[in-house]
Structure 1
Amino acid sequence: MKQTDQRQTGRFRRLWRWLPAVAWMAVIFVLSGREGDELNTVLPLFQQWMPWMESFDWGHYFAYFILALAFDFALGGRADRWSGKLLIVALCGLYGVTDEYHQSFVDGRTPDVLDLRNDCIGAAMAVALTAIPFIRKRWRRIAP
């Protein structure tokens, strides 16, 4: 009986670790549902200062950087392997595709392959950052 309880507790912990990723995916979903005229005015201002960054949307970059960290937390030690890192970027990219599809139903918004590119860049940068040994060690203290 005790061993069964331990298995159930372990399963519950593994499922619990996915909560930040699911919550952040909900945040992204809500933000991508904003109509075109509701969008933040920071992006055009930023692009005015740095015109060479015109096609780069920092909102997508940061949203998917955070999502990748949440997926890393969910996967735990499995995220330390390269297969885990590739899975994280793939999951972020897949969610980015669904996000762009969702935007096709929102007034004033259209799907954009450049947004998907920025999503994947953000995810890849998070994975690359957490692959650096001293950062990985500190990250595992926070997210064992």
Structure 2
Amino acid sequence: MRKYLYWLLPLFWMGVIFYSSAQPYGEQDIKPFLGNTLNVAFLKPYLDWISFTYHHSEVSVETLGVAGLIEFFVRKGAHFGVYFILLCLFFIAFVKTSKCKFWTVIALSYMLTVTYAVTDEFHQSFTANRTPYAGDVVIDGIGAAFAALFLIFLKRNKK
């Protein structure tokens, strides 16, 4: 029975993600900190070349400012990172509580992680100033895929 406590790891992390996506955008806005406290304006010449469209909006220094551009990458990096961690926690829980083979555990961990990413984006549709976006699920899935590749790499180098 104690071994099932390992499932508290992904459940806790899913709770952290749920809490974060339940916060309105304004409560997570780090632009004032980046612009006023750190004053990242000196990075403008190095970031001016970046320009692309994401979720029907231009992402560039011109449209977002330096602080806004950095915040964009921090937010998308967070998507990548939290789902990287979630897959690893699912993996640990499966390894510690089942007799499934490595590849089955990787596949189940990936499917559960991406499924949670989809439900989290849906959850955001109920949060003020937040919108669900399939592109974020893609970033989440890429984070999970990198975690799976990382675990495969660890297994292969363990031998």
Q: TM-score, normalised by structure 1?
A: 0.74
Residue number among 33, 37, 40 corresponding to 2:22 in the alignment: 33
Identity of counterpart residues, as a percentage? 33
Cα gap change, 1:30 to 1:84, in 2 (>3 Å): same
Residue number among 62, 67, 72 corresponding to 2:86 in the alignment: 67
Q: Which has the higher strand share?
A: 2
Note the C-alpha offset of 1:84.
1.5
- Counterpart Cα distance in 2 of 1:90 and 1:53: 30
Structure 2: runs of 5+ lacking an equivalent: 35-39, 55-72
Note the C-alpha offset of 1:97.
0.9
- Counterpart Cα distance in 1 of 2:27 and 2:157: 38
- Listed as ranges, the matches of 1:59-138 within 5 Å are 59-76=78-95, 81-133=102-154, 137=158
Structure 1: runs of 5+ lacking an equivalent: 1-10, 139-144
For the 8 Å contact 2:24–2:130, the answer to whether it is kept is yes
Kindly report the root-mean-square deviation, in angstroms, between the aligned alpha carbons of the 2 structures. 3.0
Q: Which residue in the other structure is 2:2 paired with?
A: 12
Q: How many residues align?
A: 125
- Counterpart Cα distance in 2 of 1:135 and 1:40: 41
For the 8 Å contact 1:79–1:85, the answer to whether it is kept is no
